[in-house]
Amino acid sequence: MAIISDDEGIRKREKKNPIIKPENIEYDNTFENSIRPKDFDSYIGQSALKETLKITLEAAKKRGKPLDHLLFYGPPGLGKTTIAGVIASQMGVEIRITSAPALERPRDIIGILMSLKGGEILFIDEIHRLNKVAEEILYPAMEDFTLDMTTGKSQTAKTLRVPLPKFTLIGATTKAGELSSPLRDRFGMIHRLEFYTKEELTKVVQRTAKILEVEVTEGGAQAIAMRSRGTPRIANRLVKRVSDFAIVKYDGVIDEKVANESLDILKIDKFGLDTTDRALLNLIIDKYDGGPVGVETIAAALSEDVRTIEDVCEPYLLQAGFLQRTPRGRKVSPEGYRHLGIKMPSMQTSLFGE
C-alpha cells in the first residue's frame, strides 16, 4: 500500500489555514508517517470502529466489491488518516490522500477521480470545506461511479457521462455538522472517533518509543499519556520531545521523573493543557468574568483564528470539562477555575449550582 500525498494541496492548505498551536509548529509529516500503524492489530484504541470495519472489509472482499464510502469525524489527531491507511493496506489497495481546500477548481477533483484505478481509496480530509462545484461533481461519482461533464456553452452545451472505476471515498472532518446533507447521505458508514483513554495512550507511547528505539518505563509512558489530551498525535510528538530531553539531559531512559520534568519545561501541564489553552481560560476569567463570551472575541484577543480555537483548542477543553458552550458563548466551568487555582466568583458559583 502506498500513500500518495497531495503535497501541493497540503502546502496550499497550510498557507490558508495556518496551524499555530505549539505542537503543530513542528509538524513532522515524515515522523508521523513512519510510525503510523499499518494493520488493525497495531492500531490502538477505537475498538468499536475496528470491529465494525473488520466485518465490513471482510464482507467487501467476499463479495469482490469495493468498500462503501466512509465518513470519519472527530477532533484532529485521533487517527482518521491513519485508520484510512490501515483500511487501504488491509484491502491491498492504493490510497490517494488530499484535502478539500486543495480541490479549489473543478479540474482538481476531476483530475483525481479520473486517475483512480478500480478499488482504490480516495481520502479527502476536511471534507466539510469542499466547495459546491466539487461537491456536485462528487455526487454522481460516489453514487453511480460516473462523471457528468458539460462541454460547450449555453445552447450548444452537452453533458457527457464518463464512467469512473469503482472507488471508495473516505472523508474526514472535524465538523460533521457542516457537511451538506446530500453529501452526508452518500456515505454508507459514518463514524465518530473518540478521545483515547489513558491506558490506550500509554500503549501508543510505548509503541512509538519502541519504534524510535528509546527506553520508556511504565511510569514514564503513563506520565506522557496523562498529558496528551486524549490524542495519539500529541502523544507521539511528546514522546519525541521528551526523548530529546532524556538523551541530552538524562541517561536516555524516559521514566516518570524525566517525563514530568521535561513536560513541565515544555509548559504542558498535568492535564495536557499548553500555554494557548491556559491563555484562553485565563482570558475568559480575567476579561469576561468567566464568560459567556463569543468565540470570535476570544480568537481576536488571543490573535488566533476562530478555526484553530474551535477545532484544536476547544474540543479537549470541553471534553475535560474546563469549558462550557452556551448559546451566549463560552464559559469557564468550576473545574476550569479549580484547574487554574483561581477562586470562582460567588455569582458564577451560584449560576453553576455549586
- The interface mask with ligand ADE, positions 198-237, x = CB under 6 A, is ------x--x------------------------x---x-
Give Cβ neighbours of residue 174 (< 8 Å, ≥ 6 apart): 73, 74, 75, 76, 126, 128, 311, 315
According to DSSP, the residues that pair with 293 across neighbouring strands are 330
Which range touches ligand ADE (CB under 6 A), out of 38-46, 212-220, 287-295, 317-325? 38-46
Q: Is 308 part of the annotated catalytic residue set?
A: no
Residue from 98, 168, 173, 174 carrying the catalytic annotation: 174
Which range touches ligand ADE (CB under 6 A), out of 35-43, 58-66, 215-223, 315-323? 35-43
Give Cβ neighbours of residue 153 (< 8 Å, ≥ 6 apart): none
| The residue to which cell 458508514 is assigned | 189
Question: Does the protein bind ligand ADE through residue 101 (CB under 6 A)?
Answer: no
Nearest to 69 by CA among 4, 136, 140: 140
Which range touches ligand ADE (CB under 6 A), out of 40-48, 56-64, 260-268, 281-289? 40-48
Tell me how many residues contact ligand ADE (CB under 6 A). 11
Q: Is 307 part of the annotated catalytic residue set?
A: no
Question: Does the protein bind ligand ADE through residue 85 (CB under 6 A)?
Answer: no
Cβ distance to ligand ADE smaller for residue 72 or 337: 72
Q: How many CB atoms lie within 10 A of CB 286?
A: 10
Q: Is 129 part of the annotated catalytic residue set?
A: no
Cβ distance to ligand ADE smaller for residue 146 or 319: 319
CB-CB contact of 332 with 323 (8 Å): yes
CB-CB contact of 112 with 18 (8 Å): no
Q: Is 107 part of the annotated catalytic residue set?
A: no
Among 6, 9, 40, 44, binds ligand ADE (CB under 6 A): 44
Alpha helix ranges (H) inside 64-100? 80-91
Q: Is 174 part of the annotated catalytic residue set?
A: yes
Cα first-last separation, the chain: 55
Q: How many CB atoms lie within 10 A of CB 252?
A: 12
Please identify every residue annotated as catalytic: 80-81, 125, 174, 233
Residues near ligand ADE (CB under 6 A) are: 35, 37, 43-45, 79, 82, 204, 207, 232, 236
